[in-house]
Structure 1
Amino acid sequence: YAFVLLSFSLHESCVTMNKRITKATQMKYVHQRPPPWSDTLPTLHVITPTYGRPVQKAELTRLTNTLLHVPNLHWLVVEDSVQRTALVSRLLENTGLNYTHLNVETPENLKTQKKPRNVRFPRGTMQRNLALRWLREHINPNSSHKGVVYFADDDNTYNLELFEEMRWTRKVSVWPVAFIGGLRYESPKINSQGKVFGWKTVFDPRRPFAIDMAGFAVNLQLILSKPQACFKLKGVKGGYQESSLLQGLVTLSDLEPKAANCTKILVWHTRTERPLLVNEGKKGFTSGSMEV
């Protein structure tokens, strides 16, 4: 996409002592999507699992509008579906972003509904692993390609500052996440030397890495150099998926606190309210041809 320069005059008027005063201010807006690619910036490989539901397009549209501001970004969108859907395909084609569109369906017997927490198979696990496999198959570990991998769910809210914070990750960078675990935020605990020594969380703080999926990023070369590192599919309790990946990559002392030494919130674990479609299906109120 080339940029479009829009220039116009904005007239501000007021009336004082029966005399009209008009001030003309020259305004310029530059619209460009995505930002120009830079050969000096590491690439952010943002992995987003997604699944079909009424708000899917709305969620992906909102996330798109964030990612359009981030330079050197590669968006890997992985559908939990037997095939790539037309809805997501069209959305991605229209974004102007650099993207890869993948799909893998989670088997019905592994889905989380009606299972106790300790035996749940967290949604998005197979989709994240497929994206990791794609990166390993398409990027030569011996190349000079610099990058960072981040797992961005389609319903969270992201401050643009977060993406620049993670861009220079050497191994694994970490930061707080808001609205999770029944708390205003969860966070790594940082000592006076600026190192992570524990976790501010209520749920099982003794987990090896008691962190949310939105709270860390991994250097691409580390992912490529550890081909066995992935999110475990079996034998992992709820809340341990992050640990199942990170244990194969780093130790606690390797973690790099970001967001002003974990004192700032740059990502929120938000949820879009499920729409009440109680009148859908009534005569005259349904159009199957309308994409929502």
Structure 2
Amino acid sequence: MMKSIFYSRFFILLPWVLIVIIVIDIDTKRSSVRNTAHSYLSRLSSAPRRDAAVHAPNRTAPPPLLIYAITPTYSRAVQKAELTRLANTFRQVPHFHWIVVEDSASRTELVSRFLARGRVPYTHLHVLTPRRFKRAGMPRATEQRNAALSWLRAHRTATDSGVVFFADDDNTYSLELFEEMRSTKGVSVWPVGLVGGRRYERPVVEKGKVVGWYTGWKADRPFAIDMAGFAVNLQVILDNPRALFKRRGAKPGMQESDFLKQITKLEDLEPKARNCTQVLVWHTRTEKVNLGNEPKRHQDSVLIEV
């Protein structure tokens, strides 16, 4: 009788005893995990961080080279239209300075107003081409380009960095061209479209070096290249103070060669534009304006600048 009572009570209490044992075991494991995690995190926080132990030097990239674009210009019916097209391009080029040189005895009001409103950093110069050098067949813009070179030598020093580019006002330029030329260390070259009676002319490149010229006009020129086809590092200009565009004995189409011979050699040229296989500048020319119906008398009562 006593045994049956004992067993009945034992089996009643047994489930509760098992529940208590299980709860105690779970709590013990949780405490162990917390202690282990705390110990690990403590060691981790006290250990020296590898990435904090080594600090990279605080270097700032040098600013990109400033591009100096030299543009000779002269008074004519399409002058403002040409300059407007150029300004719309140049305005989008960062780190850029426009040197505009008028073929004039003084700065004209048209160009002065245009540059002041153009939102392109600029220098406005002027020099008149002597009448004897204005005959057909003679090189053009010689005095204007030389005036810009003289300005650079007078206002820039060895501490200044930049790239000099001759940007005639009748050409069309891709924005990519300016990023190509910006890395010029000496003299860089590239193809020019719609020039020399061909779709394009270009330097011929082999193994990263210029070895010749693909051209349709006087291929025997030392540098058979258009004025729009090269750029010069500013320090090269400053290091060669006598390098100018020649007037005496100069022949049409030879200005580029006469100038480049003074500052570089063929083997030192730096090919740009995918090893001179990409056209990024075009020698376009505005159509000759027909003003046959412009009245000599009874003109408009309003004076409009064109």
Amino acid at match of 1:74: H
Q: Partners in 2 of 1:171 and 1:287 — Cα distance?
A: 54
Q: Partners in 2 of 1:224 and 1:43 — Cα distance?
A: 15
- Which residue does the alignment assign to 1:49? 72
Larger radius of gyration: 2
| TM-aligned CA deviation for residue 287 of structure 1 | 5.2
CA distances 1:39-85 after superposition (whole Å, capped 9, x unpaired): 61110000000000000000000100000000000100000011100
CA distances 1:130-161 after superposition (whole Å, capped 9, x unpaired): 000000000113x1x21000000011000000
How many residue pairs match? The answer is 246
Q: Partners in 1 of 2:302 and 2:263 — Cα distance?
A: 47
Q: Partners in 2 of 1:39 and 1:98 — Cα distance?
A: 21
- Which residue does the alignment assign to 2:98? 75
- Which residue does the alignment assign to 1:10? none
Q: Find 1:58's aligned residue among 74, 81, 100.
A: 81
| In the alignment, structure 1 residue 229 sits paired with structure 2 residue 243 | yes
CA 1:222 to 1:73, structure 2 compared with 1: closer, same or farther past 3 Å?
Answer: same
| TM-aligned CA deviation for residue 274 of structure 1 | 1.6
- Which residue does the alignment assign to 1:148? 163
- Which residue does the alignment assign to 1:110? 133
| TM-aligned CA deviation for residue 283 of structure 1 | 4.3
| In the alignment, structure 1 residue 130 sits paired with structure 2 residue 144 | no
- Which residue does the alignment assign to 2:200? 185
| TM-aligned CA deviation for residue 112 of structure 1 | 3.5
| TM-aligned CA deviation for residue 281 of structure 1 | 2.1
Q: Partners in 1 of 2:259 and 2:211 — Cα distance?
A: 19
- Which residue does the alignment assign to 2:261? 247
- Structure 1 residues without counterparts, runs of 5 or longer: 1-37
Q: Partners in 1 of 2:201 and 2:272 — Cα distance?
A: 14
Q: Partners in 1 of 2:251 and 2:297 — Cα distance?
A: 46
State whether residues 158 and 267 of structure 1, in contact with CA within 8 Å, keep that contact through their aligned partners in structure 2: yes
CA distances 1:152-190 after superposition (whole Å, capped 9, x unpaired): 001100000000000010100000001111100011111
| TM-aligned CA deviation for residue 288 of structure 1 | 7.1
- Which residue does the alignment assign to 2:119? 96
CA 1:232 to 1:287, structure 2 compared with 1: closer, same or farther past 3 Å?
Answer: farther
CA distances 1:11-66 after superposition (whole Å, capped 9, x unpaired): xxxxxxxxxxxxxxxxxxxxxxxxxxx96111000000000000000000010000
Instruction: Please identify, of 170-179 and 281-290, the stretch whose mean Cα deviation from structure 2 is larger.
Output: 281-290
Alignment of 1:151-230 (within 5 A): 151-191=166-206, 193-230=207-244
| TM-aligned CA deviation for residue 277 of structure 1 | 0.8
CA 1:136 to 1:290, structure 2 compared with 1: closer, same or farther past 3 Å?
Answer: same
Name whichever structure is richer in helix by fraction: 2
CA distances 1:182-237 after superposition (whole Å, capped 9, x unpaired): 1000111111x111111111211111101000000000000001000010111122
> Under a length normalisation based on structure 1, what TM-score does the superposition of the two structures give?
0.82
- Structure 2 residues without counterparts, runs of 5 or longer: 1-60
CA 1:197 to 1:287, structure 2 compared with 1: closer, same or farther past 3 Å?
Answer: farther
Q: Find 1:139's aligned residue among 147, 151, 156.
A: 156
State whether residues 231 and 241 of structure 1, in contact with CA within 8 Å, keep that contact through their aligned partners in structure 2: yes
CA 1:240 to 1:287, structure 2 compared with 1: closer, same or farther past 3 Å?
Answer: farther
Q: Partners in 2 of 1:50 and 1:261 — Cα distance?
A: 31
Q: Partners in 2 of 1:39 and 1:86 — Cα distance?
A: 38
Q: Partners in 2 of 1:78 and 1:288 — Cα distance?
A: 29
Name whichever structure is richer in strand by fraction: 1
CA 1:286 to 1:140, structure 2 compared with 1: closer, same or farther past 3 Å?
Answer: same
Structural RMSD (CA): 1.4
Q: Partners in 2 of 1:186 and 1:54 — Cα distance?
A: 29
Q: Does the residue aligned with 1:202 lie in a helix, a strand or coil? A: coil
- Which residue does the alignment assign to 1:269? 283
Q: Does the residue aligned with 1:48 lie in a helix, a strand or coil? A: strand
Amino acid at match of 1:94: R
